[in-house]
Amino acid sequence: MSLPPASGKRHFQTQLPAGTDAETDLIEEIPIAISYGDITHGIMMLTPTDLDDFLVGFSLSEGIIRRAADLLDWTLTSTHTPDGLPAYLLDATLSARRQAQYRNRQRQMLGASGCGLCGSASLESAFVPLKPLQPAPILPREQLSQLRDQLTQAQTLGPRVGAIHAAALIDPQGNLLACREDIGRHNALDKLIGHALRGEHSLTGHTLVMSSRCSVELVNKAVIAGASTLVNLAAPSTLAVDRARRYGLNLIHLARDNQPRFYSPAPT
């Protein structure tokens, strides 16, 4: 089911320091409560654009589905927070097999004692072993140096509102295939991954480009999706580099001078 389109921005009246009024567009940030069947998974704060793609990519990253067909249907309902702010309820219907597996997993999580690691019940659940990627070539330096401009030109919300992250998909020849934007960098990547998954587009040999710094969560999402290369416009964390090297993800920081810095695979 396709969800209704949204602009991702809202118009506001503001006042400049000199006391004059001005008009501006701001990026939308809305709480969306996600549930699978009758089980509430959690609340995400995101920009309400490309929610179809987000739901598929998020569900894959969370290990709830393995392919887009595991999600049979979904509905979006407008609601409000207790203090009257806009919010959404996003309810997804899984295949019978996936729903049973999800219900069993949630029961196990309820019985576990938390360690306080970003909501995960244990180190084992936070650092699940992933399937290693097959080695894949990296784009030539001259093409890598163009990725910043490609990402900027592909954005529709960024030039108008700022304060937004973007993720782009680049094919093995260096062509930009898609771009997704969101106030959260994780959400932007989930939207892009969901777009590829819904189109049954393999990410093997492809490059993901992110406007943000590179945290370990972005590395995990890229590996789970099967992408070969992750390029970020800000530096990675130590854990992101370690995780990328462990699972064979090409990890690159494209510095402000557009010169790539290669973190994974490890230099020899």
Q: What is the pLDDT of residues 51-102, one digit of tens each?
A: 999 999 999 999 999 999 999 999 999 999 999 999 999 999 999 999 999 9
Say yes or no: 182 and 251 in one domain: yes
Closest CA to 163 of 33, 26, 2: 26
DSSP state of 85: -
Say yes or no: 115 and 45 in one domain: yes
Closest CA to 52 of 15, 98, 101, 3: 3
CB atoms near residue 16 (< 10 Å): 8
pLDDT value of position 30: 95
Say yes or no: 179 and 216 in one domain: yes
- Whether residue 3 lies inside any domain: the answer is no
Say yes or no: 147 and 181 in one domain: yes
CA distance 40 to 63: 15
Q: How confident is the model at residue 24 (pLDDT cuts 50, 70, 90)?
A: confident
- Whether residue 57 lies inside any domain: the answer is yes
pLDDT value of position 107: 82
> What is the phi/psi pair of residue 123, to 5°?
-60, -35
- Whether residue 112 lies inside any domain: the answer is yes
Say yes or no: 118 and 178 in one domain: no
Q: What is the CATH number of the domain that holds 114?
A: 3.10.20.10
Domain holding 203, by residue range, is 141-264
Say yes or no: 195 and 160 in one domain: yes
pLDDT value of position 267: 79
Say yes or no: 162 and 105 in one domain: no
Say yes or no: 260 and 192 in one domain: yes
Helix (H, G, I), strand (E, B) or coil at 108: helix
Q: How confident is the model at residue 122 (pLDDT cuts 50, 70, 90)?
A: low
- Whether residue 213 lies inside any domain: the answer is yes
User: Which domain-ending residue is among 97, 126, 155?
Assistant: 126
pTM confidence score: 0.89
- Whether residue 182 lies inside any domain: the answer is yes
Say yes or no: 204 and 120 in one domain: no
Active-site pick, 115, 118, 179, 214: 115
User: Which domain-ending residue is among 126, 160, 177?
Assistant: 126
- Whether residue 121 lies inside any domain: the answer is yes
pLDDT value of position 106: 86
Q: Judge residue 50's burial from the number of C-beta atoms within 10 Å of its C-beta, 0-12 exposed, 13-18 middle, 19 or more buried.
A: buried
Residue listed under structure tokens 């800000």? 234
Say yes or no: 150 and 255 in one domain: yes
Q: What is the CATH number of the domain that holds 163?
A: 3.40.140.10
Say yes or no: 222 and 146 in one domain: yes
- Whether residue 46 lies inside any domain: the answer is yes
Question: How many distinct structural domains can be found in the chain?
Answer: 2
Cα angle at 57 between 93 and 88, to 5 degrees?
Answer: 60
- Whether residue 248 lies inside any domain: the answer is yes
User: Which domain-ending residue is among 68, 100, 126?
Assistant: 126
Say yes or no: 118 and 16 in one domain: yes
**Could you confirm whether 214 is annotated as catalytic?**
no
